[in-house]
Each structure stands twice: as structure tokens, then as C-alpha cells.
Amino acid sequence: MQRPDQTGNLITEFKCKICGEPIRFSLNDPKTYESKTPHKDYFGMQLTTVRVSHEISGERHHNSIVIDQKGLFRGYRDAYVEPITSGDSPGQSSLVVQPGQSLQVTENKFVTLLVMVDRQRFWVKPFLCPEEFRPTELARLVMERVEEAERVYDKMPRTLTFGLADMDIHVWVSQERVVFVAFNNPSVLPALEGLCEGLLEVDKGMSFTNQRAIQMALQVIGLIPDIDSDTIHRLVTDALLFSVTTIPFPDRTNRIVELVSKRFPIASVILRPLLTGKSSIIDLLEDGHVREIRDVFEMVDFINRRGLLG
């Protein structure tokens, strides 16, 4: 959905992921969007993540989407609702669960807790929290310890660890966010490092977090506890995993599938839907290929490195 306006700017139009209303913007007109992040070549396309929002009935709907070099919509990355308030910022004592964000998961085989605090909006995002705990109270206690450490340390360490309610809590801190976890199997620590550091980086300073990617990361860790930090970090930070592609030379599909399958057997199953725009990488992972996540990433990198589609 794209067409030039009177001035020749390419207009992208897509439906708000939250309410379905059409939203229009132009990459040439910075007033029409909040931010853009260009990506390196991906399957022969030049993709950009763009953050766009609109206001409707007392709410602001933020969308993070991926578009191609022609301004064509290629996929949603994430979306969230922000109530439009009078501008009074609440005090530290009023940490609340982010509006519209319900608890996603209460149980994981190896990870017992994963909560993020948005320090600017005073929002708590309980991605994983056992039912017996109140996430806002946990967050409040963790924030007290974080602020105490920030007063004490001249230079804050990368992570903090302390005991709380019978759990060993590991905390990652940035100016905008705090992420804390607890786990019952020490082999998940590298994966959680990748996850939490990724969460601190994602869309710097914004409230975007990709719940779909975080749920997938927890699923991966539940199946492969000793998964490496880089794979999980990529899962929560790489916007291209959410893009649907159409390759520049579709008649090459068969040859590419055949070629890549020799090196990556999984290609014979997943590469065709990926090249023909039927599935994004995250769709394929959700569709039963979680255990093969490392092979999937390696295959995608191989194709892009070799410029097989360029």
C-alpha cells in the first residue's frame, strides 16, 4: 500500500495493529513518523524499521513496522497503547503494570521471573511472573535496591545480584530501564544475559519491547537451557525476523533452495515459504522450528553473506 503524494513523496499506508485504523506516513517527511532505523541488506531488500503512532479516543497507539525500499509494508514488529494523560508524572511509589499489557506467562521450566521496569513511564512489564507474586511490589523492591546501588557505586556494575522473597534476583540496569530475572538452573545465565542486554538496547529509550520475540526467547530457553547469548540477543533485537520478503528474482527460488539445502538440511522445509513471502522467520520458529533456531539463523546469514538474492 503505497503511492506518491502531490510532492512526489512515497506514502506508506498500513493498518494500526491495535485498532485497525489506516495510518499513513512518508519516510521523506520526518514529521509523519517518530523514528526510523535502516537495516543492512536482507534477502536482496533494503529494509527499514519505522515507528509511527496515532491518537484515537484518548489513547496513543504506537506501531513499530518494517518497510522496504519502495515504502511497502513488510511486517509488524510490535505495538502498544499509551493512555494520553494530563502530563502529571506519577511518583516512584506508583509503579503500575503497563496499560494493555497482561501477564504473558506464569511458568517456564528454568526461568522463574522476567520483569522489566520502564523508569520514565513508571511502567512494569511482567513478561514472566509466578501467580503468587505481585509484579508491581517486586518491581518496587527491586527499584529500591537499584537506586541504593546507584547512590553507592561510582560506576555501576553491569549487573546486580541480591536475594528477594526467597529468590536470587539478577538485575540489568540502564538509565531508561531495569530488567530483572530469577532462574532455577544456572546454565540459562548466558541466554538471560543476551535477553536482558537486548531488552535494554531495543529501540533505545523507547517503550517498545517485542513481546512476541520475548515469548519466543523464553520458549527457546525452556527447550535449550544452555543456548548461547548471541542467539537470544539476536532474537529480541533483530527487526528483520518479523519481515515478510519477496525476493527480486523469484525464478531463482528452486535453484537457491536446492543449493542452500545441501549445506543446511532445514532449508528444504523452511526456505520456500521464506523466499516467497508466505512466512517471516518468527512465523517459522513459532510453527515448530524452535529447536532449530541456530540453524535457521545460520542459514539466513549464509544466504545474505553469499549475496544469493542480491
Smallest distance, Zn ion to C-beta of residue 207, A: 16
Residue in 221, 233, 215, 308 with CA at minimum distance from that of residue 267: 308
Cβ distance to Zn ion smaller for residue 18 or 308:
18
As to burial, measured by CB atoms within 10 angstroms (0-12 exposed, 13-18 middle, 19+ buried), residue 222 is middle
> Which position among 10, 16, 129, 275 is part of the footprint of Zn ion (CB under 5 A)?
16
Whichever of 61 and 177 has its CB closer to Zn ion, that residue is 61
DSSP code per residue over 239-297: GGGG-----S-GGGHHHHHHHHHHH-TTHHHHHHHHHTTS--HHHHIIIIIGGGHHHHH
Closest approach of Zn ion to the CB of residue 81, in Å: 8
- Judged by CB, which is closer to Zn ion: 10, or 16? 16
- Regarding 18 and contact with Zn ion (CB under 5 A), the answer is yes
Q: Residue 19 or residue 269: which is nearer to Zn ion going by CB? A: 19
Q: How far is the CB of 14 from Zn ion (least distance, A)?
A: 11
* Amino acid (1-letter code) at residue 235: L
Interacting span for Zn ion (CB under 5 A) from 20-28, 67-75, 89-97, 164-172: 20-28
**Under rule CB under 5 A, how many of the chain's residues touch Zn ion?**
5
Cβ atoms within 10 Å of 261's Cβ, excluding its own: 15
Among 11, 19, 72, 308, binds Zn ion (CB under 5 A): 19
Strands across the sheet containing 2-4: 2-4, 10-15, 22-26
222: part of which helix (H) or strand (E)? helix 211-223
Stretch that binds Zn ion, among 18-26, 39-47, 159-167, 181-189 (CB under 5 A): 18-26
Quote the DSSP letter at residue 45.
B
Binding mask 43-82 for Zn ion (x = CB under 5 A): ------------------x---------------------
Q: Which of 101, 107, 100, 108 is nearest to 132 (CA)?
A: 107
Per-residue string for binding with Zn ion, 213-252, x by CB under 5 A? Answer: ----------------------------------------
Instruction: Report the interhelical angle of 229-237 vs 293-305 (nearest 10°).
Output: 70
Look up residue 89 and give its three cell numbers.
508524572
Nearer to Zn ion, 19 or 141 (CB): 19
Pick 24 or 252: Cβ nearer Zn ion: 24
Q: Which residue ranges make up the site for Zn ion (CB under 5 A)?
A: 16, 18-19, 21, 61
